[in-house]
Amino acid sequence: MTHIAYLSMGSNIGDTKDNLTKGIAKLISHPEISLEEQSSDYRTSPVGGVKQDDFLNLAVKITTSLTPYELLAYIHQVEAALHRKRLIHWGPRTLDIDIVFFDDRVSEDPDLTLPHPEVWNRLFVLVPIQEIMSADFHYYHRVNQRIDELQQTEQSIERIGNSHE
């Protein structure tokens, strides 16, 4: 069975553009993952209270025959291949990939919560996804509503170009 997943990707260490490009290439090198859409690049302020550089973020829409847990395991391999170190919660990283939505699944499993537990609090996740989601997407209206609400906060996000230019 083919599933649709929306992934959020970010980097704020080293050559962030290159980290994201390599991350996408490694991700879609898996025979059971296909890239359907890729958002523009966005420069975003960090959240979570850890002092660090701004992030370069984007979102991708993929199709996959993997289960959510198989996809998560592969994402961890991709992050490790790009030298991701999990030292500080919400800290700086070479590459961060999160499964934001997997079809319309809802899961409260602490190992894989779906939708992603912080999605509704983060412009840097919602805005790139909004760019690539279709109007028939299960969470379409909620994504748009939440972006309107979050734009009143101190989170900053700036579109800086198309990732696949």
CATH number at residue 9: 3.30.70.560
Say what the pLDDT of residue 42 is. 96
Say what the pLDDT of residue 48 is. 59
Angle between the 68-81 and 16-28 helix axes, to the nearest 10 degrees? 140
Structurally, how many domains does the chain consist of? Answer: 1
Say what the pLDDT of residue 55 is. 87
148 catalytic? Reply is no
Rounded distance, CA 144 to CA 161, Å? 21
Strand partners for 43: 56, 158
* Confidence label for 19 from pLDDT (cuts 50, 70 and 90): very high
84 catalytic? Reply is yes
Judge whether residue 49 has pLDDT over 70: no
Each residue's pLDDT tens digit, 148-163: 999 888 888 999 977 5
Report the amino acid identity of residue 103.
Answer: D
- When comparing pLDDT for 84 and 53, which is higher? 53
Active-site hit among 41, 84, 122, 146: 84
Dihedral, CA atoms, 82, 87, 88, 91, nearest 10 degrees?
A: -20
Burial zone of 155 (CB within 10 Å; 0-12 exposed, 13-18 middle, 19+ buried): middle
Q: What percent of the chain has pLDDT over 70?
A: 89
Judge whether residue 25 has pLDDT over 60: yes
**How many alpha carbons lie under 13 Å from residue 5 in its C-beta half-sphere?**
32
Rounded distance, CA 75 to CA 81, Å? 10
Contact between 21 and 164 (Cβ < 8 Å): no
Range of the domain at 69: 3-162
Active-site hit among 18, 53, 86, 96: 96
* Confidence label for 50 from pLDDT (cuts 50, 70 and 90): low
Active-site hit among 15, 43, 54, 93: 93
The H or E element that residue 74 is part of is helix 68-81
Say what the pLDDT of residue 29 is. 98
Token readout for 143 is 């994504």
Say what the pLDDT of residue 161 is. 75
Active-site hit among 41, 43, 54, 98: 98
Each residue's pLDDT tens digit, 58-117: 999 999 999 999 999 999 999 999 865 655 555 578 899 999 999 999 999 999 999 988
Name which of 20-24, 62-66, 120-124 the model is least confident about: 120-124
